[in-house]
Amino acid sequence: MKRSNTLAPGNAGRLWRILLTVAGSVTLVAGADWPQFMGPNGDGTSAEKGLLRAWPADGPKALWTFAMGPGYGGAAIRDGKVYVLDRVDKKKDVLRCLDLGSGKEEWTFSYDAPGEVNHEGSRSTPAVTENYVYTVGPFGHFHCLDRATHQVVWKKNLVTDYGTKPPRWAVGQSPLLYENLVVVAPQADLVGVVAFDQATGAEKWRSGEIGAMGYCSPMKITIDQVDQIVVFTPIGVAAVRASDGKLLWKYAHACKIPIPNVTALGGGRLFVTGAYLAGSAIIQVSQDGDKWTVKELASINQMGGHCHPALLWQDHLYLLCNINERSDGMVCLDLEGKVVWQTRKDPNLDKGGSILTADGLIYVMDGRTGELYIVEPSPQGFKSLGKATLLGGKEIWGPLALADGKLVIRDQSQMKCVALHAP
């Protein structure tokens, strides 16, 4: 008897439903959100696949461009919406919600924030949950907005509420999402890190003093199954327990202007880096009962990252190491702290350039030229797969954001979205 390859109508319908379900699942995996500073994990990594490994002849397709005021604040992306904090005429901070696909502005929220800041403009990335958007402005204004009604749910101020002395270039940190909390770091004389209930704004815990405010955003790491909130201050790194704010450990690493946070290497090891000749280090954090200890495993003298943390990829670190005093370019280090290679000035890759990794690639924005590089991470040397000039002006330092195959970038006058999905 000859076997038929034709499905019965009922079976065909069931097959199509299965295929559609699978396709939908793949889309959900591939189109991961970028809901806060440095992405879903806070480490500059994305789970997206199927991305461009070389630019088309005419460069990546620009899906839209949106005019903005000057600044450095990056985008958060959730559910097909882009959230960015803008600053207008030195008078107001403006939260903008754009459609990821079209760039159309769907709604805004603004508040009065008059005053001048050195290097004008916004400098933080919102954090977005299913229901709320959180922003921190350059004068410490901390807002929770309802995504559906666009109304203020609650608000605080990191400067006036805690008696914080803001740093020279204003408040530059981004809020951190952790379970049902949103975490910020006022870094005042009596309080370091504070966690609030996401829905009500009720203070759930506060840590003691950890050091003065720099420009580092709080970050969650896990060591020995203990979730910790880490902040890099001018005197070094401090970690508090994420459940109650108890200080766990400190590591002295002086950096007068700390910006990038640590990079977790696994096994309790952390990479610490800073500019202004602060250099870098690899440390080992261990727990023995209730006691935590920190041991320095390696020190990289003077060489450090200025604005963005190092990316970990397959047992090597990749870091933009241009600072005011040195031009080391992009640097690759092994996990013993040894410099494997460095680009120096070929290419130089400006100190404020942004960097993220996805699909086995590193995307790097040159903060001086506006060129976006595709780099294949390799300890064998710097391997550029292509570059395209997408932005202009100066100080192109806003962090990159990637979601649903779309990369959102900005300079001092515009935000732009380019397609990264391969055909």
DSSP codes joined into one string, 60-120? SPEEEEEE--SB----EEETTEEEEEEEETTTEEEEEEEETTT--EEEEEEEE-----SS-
Residue 109 lies in a domain: yes
Q: How far apart are the first and last CA of the chain?
A: 43
Q: What pLDDT, on a 0 to 100 scale, did the predictor assign at position 31?
A: 53
pLDDT value at position 423? 74
State the CB neighbour count (10 A cutoff) for residue 54. Answer: 9
pLDDT at 397: 95
Task: Domain of residue 253: give its range.
Answer: 33-419
Residue keyed to tokens 């004389």: 189
Establish if 76 belongs to a structural domain: yes
Residues 6+ apart with CB under 8 A from 277: 302, 304, 323, 325, 326
Instruction: Answer yes or no: is 382 within a domain.
Output: yes
Domain tally for the chain?
1
Specify the pLDDT at position 133: 98
pLDDT for position 1: 35
Please provide residue 397's backbone torsions phi and psi, each rounded to the nearest 5 degrees: -115, 0
pLDDT tens for the chain, 423 residues long, are 333 333 333 443 443 333 333 333 333 333 589 999 999 999 999 999 999 999 999 999 999 999 999 999 999 999 999 999 999 999 999 999 999 999 999 999 999 999 999 899 999 999 999 999 999 999 999 999 999 999 999 999 999 999 999 999 999 999 999 999 999 999 999 999 999 999 999 999 999 999 999 999 999 999 999 999 999 999 999 999 999 999 999 999 999 999 999 999 999 999 999 999 999 999 999 999 889 999 999 999 999 999 999 999 999 999 999 999 999 999 999 999 999 999 999 998 988 789 999 999 999 999 999 999 999 999 999 999 999 999 999 999 999 999 999 999 999 999 999 999 987
Is the pTM of the predicted complex or chain greater than 0.85? yes
Q: How far apart are CA 247 and CA 215, in angstroms?
A: 20
For residue 125, give both structure tokens.
Answer: 């990335």
CATH at residue 305: 2.140.10.10
pLDDT for 21 equals 36
Tokens 């990159």 map to which residue? 400
Encoded tokens for 87: 């600053």
What gap in Å lies between CA 120 and CA 303, rounded to an integer?
A: 28
Distance CA 83, CA 109 (A): 11
Model pLDDT, residue 422? 82
Would 96 be classed as within a structural domain? Answer: yes
| Residue 1 included in any domain | no
Does residue 4 belong to any structural domain of this protein?
no
The answer to whether the CB of 234 falls within 8 A of the CB of 257 is yes
Q: How far is CA 375 from CA 51, 84, 137, 316, 368, in A?
A: 12, 27, 33, 14, 18
**β-bridge mates for residue 176, sequence order:** 183
Which residues does 253 contact at the CB level (< 8 Å), separation at least 6?
232, 236, 237, 272, 274, 278, 281
For the record, the structure tokens of 334 come out as: 């092994």
Residues in a beta bridge with 203: 196
Residue 259 inside a domain? The answer is yes
Question: Does a cis peptide bond (omega within 30 degrees of 0) precede residue 114?
Answer: no
Residue 252 lies inside a defined structural domain of this protein: yes
